[in-house]
Structures are given as C-alpha cells and as structure tokens.
Amino acid sequence: MPPTHELRRERLRARFRADGAEAALVTRLVNVRYLTGFTGSNAALLVTGDHAVLATDGRYITQSGTQSPDVERLFDRSCAPALVRRAVQAGVLRLAFEAHDVTVEDHAALSRLDGAPELVELGHVVEELRTVKDDEEIALVALACAVSDEALRGLCPTVRAGRTERDVARDLDGRMLAAGADARAFETIVATGPNSAVPHHRPTDRTIESGDLLKIDFGALVGGYHADCTRTFVVGREPEEWQREIHDVVRRAQRAGRHALVPGADLRGVDSAAPDVVVAAGFGDAFTHGLGHGVGLEIHEAPAFSQQATGKLEVGSPVTVEPGVYLPGRGGVRIEDTLVVREGGADLLTTTTKDLLVL
C-alpha cells in the first residue's frame, strides 16, 4: 500500500474537518492524481472521514487498480454525480467541493440529486497541500531539470545562423525525449532577434541571423513533474553593447531573486527582489511579468510570485525565478532557473551556465 497518498488524504481531512465539512469531493484531475496516484483522463475522488472512493470509467479498470490499490473504486462515466450519491449513502450532510473546477451547470446538477448534501467550497486546499513537496517529488523535478540541462547542452553546438526557430525548437524537444523525458513540459519557446522581445513568443519559420539574441524557454516532463528553464544566447558573433548590458541587468536581477528565496520570506517581497535591480538599471518598463512560480505536477502552480500574492515561502517548494528585459523591436533577455527552497536558501536544479554564450 502506498502510504504517501493516504498521508496526503489525511492532511486533506484535517483541512475540511476544520471547515466543518464531513467529506470532500475532489474533481480537478491533477489533484485526484496527487491524492491517489491515478493518472487517467476521467476521475473524481470522494474523501470521507475514514475512507476514500475513486470514481473513473470502464477504460481504467486495470490501471486504477494498479495505480491506486488502497482506495475503493467505483466505475461510472459521470464521476462526480456517482460520488455525490455515494456520499449520500454514507450519510454526509456537508460536502466540500472544488468550486474553481466545477462548472455552474454541474453544480446545479449535483445540488438537484436526491438527498444531496449541502455543497460548501473547499477552496484551493489541495493546491496548497501540493506546494510543499516530499523527497520523491523533489527528486522527479530535479531529474526533469537534469534532462533539460542535458538536452540544451547537446543543442548549443548545433545552433547557427540559417536555422529556423521551429527547427531549433523541434530539435530541442527531440533531445529532451532522447535524454529521458516522457514529454516536453510545455510548448518550447525559441525566440530570435526582435522576436526575443516577446515574452511568450511561439516559434516561427524565422531564420536565425548572425548577431541575433536567441531566447530559449523550455523544460522536460518526467514522472508527471515539470522542469522550467530559460537561457538567452547570442548567435554568430560577439554581442553588441546593448545586448551585453540587458543580459547583465537580467543576470544580476535573477541572482537577487534567487537570494530572496529563504524559508518564511513573504511572496510579495520575493517578487520585488529582482524588479528592484531592473528598475535601478533604468529598465523598469521593460520587465512586464511576475518573477516566478511554483513547479510540480503542473508547470505553473502555487506559490506565485506577484504583488498580489499572500503567504510565505516554505521549505520543500520548487519554484522558478525568471526576470526578463524586453526591448520591443530589438530583442529581449530572460534567465530562468528552477530551484527548491531549503533551510539555508535555495538549491539550484537547472545548472546550465548563465553566461552570455556566443553560439
């Protein structure tokens, strides 16, 4: 029996009990996976005070038995209604549900079921539980980062003027798979020349020209866990002064952001650490996004570094630090690492050099 998942369900019980509910209906698939290990595409989970029922459909009879042997299983294509009926049988009067996942239409249908319990909001409780990872999860994030580093190391010597963004992106994706990734963690960003000034540029058929900045934001997916890394290079010749300048600013800002990753740090304070450096260098208008985000079963998850964030940084949270400076029409630089917060500071998981390499 995998004790990890039962341990996680115990933590969830403590939370919904404290809010006066007798059970929780978990419908977000990634949260079902976190609480049971089940990876199918249709599922929901009912957690009562002393029991757990996983609902999925007939396609997953074997898989659910293998992945989640320690929960009762129920097979029905309409997972949530089946579990609410199960909750009624168990005498549940107050059922917490994931209001950020259930549609208004589905909520109305669940409320109309015979003898339906009172539905109360669970909130983002499972997402909060997920922010602090156990050793096994951190090892998977670290492995995804190592695979990403290896793929980039292989790619760099092959980059030259004349290749297209799309070609380079496909090449890097292939190298991640060859290095052991199950898939890429998200659509790889390869942005060259003026396109590098677009934070989330999608690769095009633009041909790399000598002297271009080349920004690559990518990551591998391993065992369900994501890596996230950005590096910016120059192609073909020594960088121009402005390229060197913005790279230096971003690099210093990124260092300040990494050093702000101490346990107990205020999330909003972490978010400010890097922009302070960018503003002081006179590029305040050119940094237009949050400093970083949690990484785990999702590529973007809690905690998020932003000026709206509340809460504090905790030991065992993998997070990214990714400041950028973008000069529209000219080019941009972003440097992003995935790190894990530890007692003394943060461990770097993406270890590719942050020097402005000439490829």
Q: Which amino acid is at 353?
A: T
SS3 115: coil
- The residue range among 39-47, 134-142, 196-204, 315-323 that interacts with Zn ion, by the rule CB under 5 A, is 315-323
SS3 192: strand
Which residues does residue 75 pair with via DSSP β-bridges, in sequence order? 56
Instruction: Say how many residues make up the chain.
Output: 359
For residue 222, which phi and psi values (nearest 5 degrees)?
A: -135, 120
* Rounded least distance, CB 230 to Zn ion, Å: 5
Q: Using CB under 5 A as the criterion, what x/- string covers residues 180-219 for binding Zn ion?
A: -------------------------------------x--
* Rounded least distance, CB 228 to Zn ion, Å: 4
* Rounded least distance, CB 218 to Zn ion, Å: 7
Total residues binding Zn ion (CB under 5 A) = 4
* Rounded least distance, CB 334 to Zn ion, Å: 8
Q: What is the DSSP letter of 357?
A: -
Nearer to Zn ion, 137 or 217 (CB): 217
- The residue range among 17-25, 125-133, 201-209, 332-340 that interacts with Zn ion, by the rule CB under 5 A, is 332-340
Give the count of beta carbons closer than 10 Å to the beta carbon of residue 38. Answer: 23
The verdict on 320 binding Zn ion (CB under 5 A) reads yes
Residues 37-96 within binding reach of Zn ion (CB under 5 A): none
- The residue range among 36-44, 94-102, 251-259, 330-338 that interacts with Zn ion, by the rule CB under 5 A, is 330-338
Nearer to Zn ion, 81 or 294 (CB): 294
Q: Using CB under 5 A as the criterion, what x/- string covers residues 221-260 for binding Zn ion?
A: -------x--------------------------------
How many helices (H) and strands (E) are present in the chain, helices listed first?
10, 19
Give the count of beta carbons closer than 10 Å to the beta carbon of residue 58. Answer: 8
CB 83 within 8 A of CB 113: no
The verdict on 149 binding Zn ion (CB under 5 A) reads no
* Rounded least distance, CB 176 to Zn ion, Å: 14
Nearer to Zn ion, 150 or 228 (CB): 228
- CA-nearest of 259, 277, 269, 334 to 303 is 269
Burial class (CB in 10 A: 0-12, 13-18, 19+), 35: buried
How far is it, in rounded angstroms, from Cα 196 to Cα 254? Answer: 18
CA 34 from centre of chain = 14
- The residue range among 68-76, 101-109, 173-181, 318-326 that interacts with Zn ion, by the rule CB under 5 A, is 318-326
The owner of tokens 């003027």 is 161
* Rounded least distance, CB 222 to Zn ion, Å: 16
* Rounded least distance, CB 352 to Zn ion, Å: 13
Catalog residues that contact Zn ion under the rule CB under 5 A.
217, 228, 320, 336
